[in-house]
Every structure is written in C-alpha cells, then in structure tokens.
C-alpha cells in the first residue's frame, strides 16, 4: 500500500486513526501492529510471514543479550559497558546474520543469477545460462525493516538501549506503517523512550497533518510530473544534449521530492500517532560539497552507516589511507544497499570518491574560496551525474546517457521527438516550480514550525489539490519502494 493512494487515504488511514484513538491506551501498540501488518501485507500477504520471522529472531536475540534466561528475564536494563560474553556475541551475530541473510537472499539472489548468466554468455557457454531459474521476488521495504530490526540488537548489545519485554511493542516498532516500506530508518535507540511513553496533543497532530499535506503535495504535484520528464528521456532510444540534461535534472528533482515527500508523510503520520521521527532531509540541494550533501540527504541512512559501519571500521581514527578506504567501503555498501546492480556500485563509488577527494583537498581550502552559488551548482551537477547511474536501466544505458549529456555520441534524428513531448507548458511549469521550491523555499520542518492560519490554509489547499490530482493520475510510483 502506498501513502499516495485512494485506498490508504480514504479507507486505511481513517480506520487506523479511529481504531488507534478509540481503543484503551494499553492496546494501541497492538492496534498499530495489526494495521501495520495489513499495510505491509497488502502488496503480498505472504511477506507478512517473513517480517514476522525477522521480528521474532531479533526480539529473542535482544532478550538473550541482556538475560541468560530470556524466557524469564529478571530485569530489563541497559547493559553496562565492558566486554560481552559468548552468549551475547552469539545472539548479536545471529541477529545480524539473519537480517543480512534475508537481505542477501531476497535482494541479491537475482543479482547473483544475472552475474552468473552474464559470465557464462561472456565465456561463450550460452547453454549454461540459468534462464529458467527461479526468480526471487523482492519483498517491499526489506532493506528498511531489516536494518531497523538489526539496530535493535546492536543498540542493546552496546548498552545504548533497553530491550522490550512485550513482543507486541517490539513488533510495533519494526512494523510501524508510517516508515515501514520506505523509511526513514528509525534506529531503536531513537524511539526507545517513545515506545514506552509519548504524548498525543492537538498541536502535535496538527503539525502532523501539515507535514502529511506538504509531503503529499511534494510527491503528487512535483515528483510525479518531474518523473514523467525523467522517464521519457531515460527510456528514449535517442536523446540530444539539452534533453539529456533536462531529463537528468528532472530525475534529481523527482527523487528528492519523491523521497523527501514520503519522509514528510511518514513524519506527519508518526506525529498523528504520537511519535516524533528525526529529520531525514535537510535541503540537500543547498549543499556546497558532497560531504555536506551527505549531512543533508537521507540522514537516517547516513547516520546508520556512520554509526554501524564507518565508525566500527575505524572511521578517521586510523590514518588517512584507512579513512579514504573506509569512506569508499561505506559508500560502496551504501550504494549496494539501494539495490543489487553495478549501477548502484558506481553511484556509491562516485560519491565515495568525491568524499575522499574533498577530504584530501580540505586543507588547501581552495574550494571554499569559490562563490557559494557556484559550489552549490557544482555539487548539484555532481549529484546529478551520479543520479544517472542510479536511474538508468543498466550500466551501458547509463554510459549511453552520459555520452548524450556530454555530446560525445552521434545524434540520432529520433532524438528530436523528445522536444515535442517534453517542452510542453505543463512539464516546463512543473520543472520550474520544482527548482523554485528547492532553492527558493525552506524545508518542511521550518515551514511547519510556525503554523499561522495562512500556512495552515495553505497546507489544506495543497492537500486538496494533491488529492484532486491523485484521483486523476495513474502514474504514481515511489522510487524508494523498490529498495
């Protein structure tokens, strides 16, 4: 189920909110869990079982880490600092292996088959190709909830959080529908306190509505039309220089409004249910360097990778060479987290490389001497070029696209068809509006901090407009659903 669907907005959400607020307080997590499983199972009911298994493993691992008798834990308190015993290590690695195993099997199984097939074809053993091999269906949101679930065991192991005694509470944390399938990744220690106690106020609910409205408007009114531009250019067999840049920028706009819109909706829904989720986007296209970009883009993933991968690898504490290597590893794995494809590896590699370069150039400070606007433009251009790998169907397609962007490819007369499709007032207007919102407006957190009657009316009007557009559109993909 997606937030920007008729079913979610007009049926699921009223029922979920109604049930949540009507049942006694102690049953709210149960209600939320049931609705979350319904939300998740809507795409394929069989996947509910998978999530249940993942949840059960991590729940028991959490208990085993803190108590030698998990079936009868005496007291649940955070572990004191110090070395951990074999039982605790075994429980932690069971949790990590189970989650990464699920992720590897479902997300990278097909990648393995395809890589094997390509190798066989490359070697001339066409008959050895696994053409009829079982194709694995990727369960929605598995990258998000396995990471989230894994963070629970790690945080408990590190003594940063207390395990939950009630399995329903834990299932609720893992499955919570506002952020289940496309994040933000809510690490356990970030909401541990709220799982036990949180407040429900009118103001909080109202701000949640404002967040939700802005997120919906970003998604439906900006991301979707920009997505149409991007799809048309990326799916074309031939494209010229101008069209290629237009399409690449449009994709940059689309992915930002799509993902940050979803995150806004998730934050809004969380607030309606009393939860406060941390910020996931902080005007990333205002960044003046790639280093800054990663302090503003998909923050929940950035911090997850920093805390659970970069720092355990040694971070910047083990010398310059090791720091560069750590950055490259983190970004490559971050790329692979998005999907099993060489394109994501290259995308991660570009970001990792530029991060390392910026770190290397930092002492000379010559980048900082450039005008801010130029640095923003440069950073945006680099991210846009990297997005080409993120969006293209495969590596050859990405290189072909870059060839058109830099005019190093012969022009096909069919490329001129795109002009008739893309330079229509509707698309140009949406593109210009997207750019104006990105560089001319503050982010949703800032806009909703002071909700004057005018701003509230603006939110409701945007919501109405978005819903009107939603009912008449069938083009409604969420990019991060496939990750």
Q: Which residues are catalytic?
A: 338
- Nearer to other proteins by C-beta: 64 or 239? 239
Six token digits for residue 69: 């008798």
From 69, 75, 127, 472, residue interacting with other proteins (rule: CB under 8 A): 472
Q: Measured between alpha carbons, how far is 257 from 342 in angstroms, rounded to an integer? A: 25
Burial class (CB in 10 A: 0-12, 13-18, 19+), 122: exposed
End-to-end CA distance of the chain: 15
Q: Measured between alpha carbons, how far is 48 from 111 in angstroms, rounded to an integer? A: 24
Measured from the CB of residue 131, what is the shortest distance to other proteins in angstroms? 8
- Give the footprint of other proteins on residues 374-393 (CB under 8 A): 393
**CA distances for 429 relative to 418, 435, 467, angstroms:** 17, 10, 19
- Nearer to other proteins by C-beta: 274 or 348? 274
Stretch that binds other proteins, among 9-17, 80-88, 339-347, 349-357 (CB under 8 A): 9-17
Residues with Cβ within 8 Å of 122's Cβ and at least 6 positions away in sequence, in order, are none
Stretch that binds other proteins, among 77-85, 99-107, 277-285, 369-377 (CB under 8 A): 277-285
- Nearer to other proteins by C-beta: 230 or 415? 415
Stretch that binds other proteins, among 74-82, 138-146, 174-182, 411-419 (CB under 8 A): 411-419
Residue 278 near other proteins by CB under 8 A: yes
Residue 478 falls in which region: left (phi positive, over 0), alpha (psi -120 to 50) or beta: beta
Measured from the CB of residue 424, what is the shortest distance to other proteins in angstroms? 3
From 24, 71, 86, 131, residue interacting with other proteins (rule: CB under 8 A): 131
Residue 451 near other proteins by CB under 8 A: yes
Residue 406 near other proteins by CB under 8 A: no
Residue 325 near other proteins by CB under 8 A: no
Give me the DSSP letters along 145-163. Answer: HHHHHHHHHHHHHTTSSPP
Spatial contact of 152 and 161, defined as CB atoms under 8 Å apart:
yes
**CA distances for 82 relative to 29, 63, 85, 156, 187, angstroms:** 33, 18, 10, 13, 22
Measured from the CB of residue 391, what is the shortest distance to other proteins in angstroms? 15
Measured from the CB of residue 370, what is the shortest distance to other proteins in angstroms? 30
- Nearer to other proteins by C-beta: 51 or 98? 51
Q: Measured between alpha carbons, how far is 335 from 147 in angstroms, rounded to an integer? A: 15
Residue 432 near other proteins by CB under 8 A: no
- Give the footprint of other proteins on residues 175-234 (CB under 8 A): 189-191, 193, 202-207, 209-210, 212-213
């Amino acid at each position: 189920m997606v937030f920007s669907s008729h079913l979610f907005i007009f049926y699921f959400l009223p029922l979920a909110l109604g049930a949540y607020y009507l049942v006694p307080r102690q049953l709210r997590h149960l209600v939320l869990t049931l609705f979350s499983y319904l939300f998740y199972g809507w795409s394929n009911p069989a996947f509910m079982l998978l999530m249940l298994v993942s949840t059960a493993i991590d729940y028991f691992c959490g208990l085993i880490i803190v108590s030698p008798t998990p079936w009868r834990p005496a007291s649940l308190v955070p572990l004191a600092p110090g070395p951990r015993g074999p039982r605790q290590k075994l429980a932690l690695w069971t949790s990590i292996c189970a989650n990464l195993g699920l992720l590897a099997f479902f997300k990278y199984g097909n990648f393995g088959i395809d890589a094997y097939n390509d190798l066989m074809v490359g070697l001339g053993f066409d008959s050895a190709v696994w053409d009829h091999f079982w194709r694995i269906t990727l369960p929605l949101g598995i990258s998000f909830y396995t990471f989230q679930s894994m963070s629970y065991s790690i945080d408990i192991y590190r003594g940063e959080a207390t395990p939950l005694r009630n399995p329903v509470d834990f299932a609720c944390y893992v499955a919570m529908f506002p952020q289940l399938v496309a994040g933000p990744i809510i690490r356990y220690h970030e909401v541990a306190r709220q799982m036990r106690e949180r407040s429900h106020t009118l103001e909080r609910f109202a701000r949640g509505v404002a967040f939700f409205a802005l997120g919906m408007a970003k998604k439906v009114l900006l991301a979707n039309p920009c997505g149409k531009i991007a799809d048309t250019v990326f799916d074309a067999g031939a494209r010229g220089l101008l069209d290629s840049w237009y399409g690449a920028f449009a994709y940059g706009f689309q992915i930002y409004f799509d993902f940050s819109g979803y995150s806004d909706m998730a934050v809004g829904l969380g607030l309606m249910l009393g939860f406060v989720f941390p910020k996931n986007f902080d005007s990333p296209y205002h960044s003046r360097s790639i280093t800054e970009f990663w302090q503003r883009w998909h923050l929940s993933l950035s911090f997850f990778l920093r805390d659970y991968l970069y720092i355990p690898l040694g971070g910047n504490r083990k010398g310059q060479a090791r720091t560069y290597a750590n950055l490259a590893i983190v970004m490559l794995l971050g790329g692979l987290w998005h999907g099993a494809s060489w394109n994501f590896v290259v995308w991660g590699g570009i970001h990792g490389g530029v991060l390392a370069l910026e770190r290397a150039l930092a002492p000379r400070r010559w980048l900082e001497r450039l005008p801010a606007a130029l640095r923003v433009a440069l950073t945006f251009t680099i991210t846009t070029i990297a997005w080409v790998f993120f969006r293209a169907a495969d590596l050859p397609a990405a290189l072909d696209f870059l060839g058109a962007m830099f005019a190093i490819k012969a022009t096909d007369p069919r490329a001129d068809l795109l002009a008739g499709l893309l330079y229509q007032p509707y698309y140009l207007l949406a593109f210009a509006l997207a750019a104006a919102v990105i560089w001319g407006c503050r982010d949703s957190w800032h806009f909703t901090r002071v909700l004057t009657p005018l701003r509230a009316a603006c939110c409701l009007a945007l919501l109405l407009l978005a819903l009107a557009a939603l009912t008449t559109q069938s083009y409604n993909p969420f990019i991060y659903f496939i990750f």
